[in-house]
Amino acid sequence: MSAGTRRRTPAPDRLCAEAVGLARDAAEETALPGGVGEWIEAVPEGDRVVTHLFECRTPGYRGWRWAATVARASRARVVTLDETALLPGPDSLLAPEWLPWNERLRPGDLGPGDLLPTESEDLRLEPGFSGEDAPPPNSVVAEEAVTTPAADEAHDAEVAAQQPPGRAGINALAQEIGMARARVLSRYGLHTAADRWQESHGPRTAMAQAAPASCVSCGFLMPLAGSLRQAFGVCANQYSPADGQVVSLSYGCGGHSEAAVMPKPPQPPPPVVDETRSDAFDLHGEPSVHSEPDGGSQPEPGETDGTGEQQGNDGSRKRDGAGRPESGNGGRPRP
C-alpha cells in the first residue's frame, strides 16, 4: 500500500474524549465494587465515537480492561453512552483457542472405560467384507467359476434349483479368510500410522542416535506381517524403553541384543590323577628330625656340650659346686 492510499487514524472527538467521568460511571455500574482502576487511554472508533479503557482490578482478570464506548450525534453537544464491555489486553490471560473434540484429543488421552467414536467417513478406515451384501451365486466365493458356455448353463440351472447361500455361511467364510470386520485400515490410515511410528521410534530420535546398533539386527525384534514387515517390528526387550511398542527397523537403543555380549567364563581343566606312583603325606604333623653332619659347630659359651661340662669364655671347663669337674655321666666322679 502506497503512502497516498494509507489510511490515517482518525483523531478522537474532543467532546467524546473529555467524557471520562461518564465512561467511568458506566464501567463502575457494570463491574463489581472496586473493580474499575485507573484510566488507560481513549481509542477513537470512528466519527464522534470514542472508547475509554480502564484498568480491571477484579481478581482473576489480570491484564483485562473495562471498555466504555461513548458517542454523540452530528452537531450535538451532549455525549451519550453507547456500551460497556470487559476486553482482554495485550498481557491478559486468555483461554486457548476452541477446538472440536476430535482435534483436542492427543495420544494417551484415552483412559480405562473411555469410548472414542469414529466418524462414518473416517479417512483412516475403508469398508471391509461384513456379509451384508451377498455375492452372486456364481461368484468365486460360492463356487469356482466355469468358463465354458455349456458348463455355465448347467451351473446356472443347478444354482437356480438351489437356495442362495445364507448370511451365516458367508460370515463363516469371511471369518476364515480374515475379512469379517465391517471396516479395515485404509492405505491413508496405514501411511499415517507408519509416519507416526517413524517419528516416535525412528532413526532421528535421540535414543537411536546414541544406540550402538539398529533394531534390524537385534534379537529382541518381532517382525510384523504384511506390507509393514520391511520397515517395522515390535520390541520384546523388557528393559528397553520401547518394550511392547512398534519400532522402526532403523531405531535402536542400549538394550540391543548384540551391544554388550558378556563373554563366557573359561572352564578350568579337569584334574590330572597320576595312578602310577604314590605320595607320602605326614598325617600327624610331627617335625622331621635331621641328623647333624660330622664336625658340627662348637657349643656357644655358657652352653653344655655333649659331656655335660660347660664351655667357658676362655675355653676352660667349669666344675660343679663341690669342686668336682662336671662330667657327662650324670655327675658321678671318674675312677
How many domains is the chain built from?
A: 3
Total residues belonging to the chain: 335
In a domain, 261, yes or no: no
In a domain, 74, yes or no: yes
In terms of domains, do 144 and 208 share one? no
Query: Given this model, what pLDDT does residue 71 score?
Result: 95
In terms of domains, do 21 and 82 share one? yes
Quote the domain boundaries for residue 236: 187-248
Low-confidence winner among 64-68, 165-169, 188-192 (lowest mean pLDDT) = 165-169
**Domain-terminating residue out of 138, 154, 183:** 183
Rounded CA separation 166/335 (Å): 145
In terms of domains, do 166 and 222 share one? no
Query: Given this model, what pLDDT does residue 311 score?
Result: 53
**Domain-terminating residue out of 72, 88, 104:** 88
Tell me how far the alpha carbon of residue 244 is from its chain's centroid.
11
H/E stretch holding 219 reads: none
H/E stretch holding 187 reads: helix 187-200
Rounded CA separation 260/256 (Å): 8
Q: Which residues contact 1 (CB under 8 A, 6 or more apart)?
A: none
In a domain, 81, yes or no: yes
In a domain, 225, yes or no: yes
Residues 52-91: tens digit of each pLDDT: 999 999 998 989 999 999 999 988 889 999 999 999 999 8
Q: Is the pLDDT of residue 139 over 90?
A: no
In terms of domains, do 22 and 71 share one? yes
The pTM for the full model equals 0.40
In a domain, 155, yes or no: yes
